[in-house]
Chains A and B, each alone.
Chain A
Amino acid sequence: GIQVEQSPPDLILQEGANSTLRCNFSDSVNNLQWFHQNPWGQLINLFYIPSGTKQNGRLSATTVATERYSLLYISSSQTTDSGVYFCAVITYKYIFGTGTRLKVLA
């Protein structure tokens, strides 16, 4: 089956710093989505991005499907950005990546 790996697994930032999270997948996919899981466990949809680049405020994402990766950029990080970030490849089901655990320090 498709493998979805994320890096780094853990990340600590000072408030205001920028970061890039990476999602690699092992096979060609048509759909990919980025989520933020908050400390209470709720998955929050960030981007549905099968290809190209999208931006929403301080967050942006880029997927290069032909090279089997996607990137999530967080600029001017805030403490509320803390949590776990997952990418998920979408076939008939969602295949979640390994996650990046982010902690933003005040």
Chain B
Amino acid sequence: GAVVSQHPSWVICKSGTSVKIECRSLDFQATTMFWYRQFPKQSLMLMATSNEGSKATYEQGVEKDKFLINHASLTLSTLTVTSAHPEDSSFYICSAGLRPGEQYFGPGTRLTVT
């Protein structure tokens, strides 16, 4: 089956710094990728839809200037958390697929901001 990878698996950064998370589709091309955030013991919430070659679409309440998304190729989307603060600490998961009803999820990236 299709595989989606994320890098890094976990990252610790200091408050005020920026961190970049990569999402790759390993054996297929994806014009659209999705980014989710999951706080401890909570559900997954969609943050934004990443579109290859165009601007990302953000869900209501998600700060686009804080969570920068770049979908530079058909196999790579990146999420940059800018000026991170402790409240940004969370588990970030991406997904990609050939169509909306057939998504494959990455293993997630655990971000801790100290």
Contacts and interface: CB of A to CB of B under 8 A. Distances in A.
Interface of A: 31, 33, 35, 40-43, 45, 48, 86, 90-99, 101
Interface residues of B, number: 22
Interface of B: 34, 36, 38, 41-46, 49, 91, 93, 95, 100-105, 107-108, 110
B93 A96 contact: no
Contacts of A86: 43-44
A40 B107 contact: yes
13 contacts: A33-B101, A35-B105, A40-B107, A41-B107, A45-B105, A91-B100, A93-B34, A93-B49, A93-B100, A94-B95, A94-B103, A96-B36, A97-B43
A41 B110 contact: yes
Nearest to B44: A96
9 smallest beta-carbon distances between A and B, as pairs:
A43-B105, A41-B108, A96-B44, A96-B43, A31-B101, A42-B107, A90-B101, A93-B46, A99-B43
Given A31-B101, A86-B44, A41 B93 contact: yes
Given A42-B108, A90-B100, A98-B43, 10 more contacts: A33-B101, A41-B91, A43-B93, A45-B104, A93-B34, A93-B100, A94-B44, A94-B46, A99-B42, A99-B43
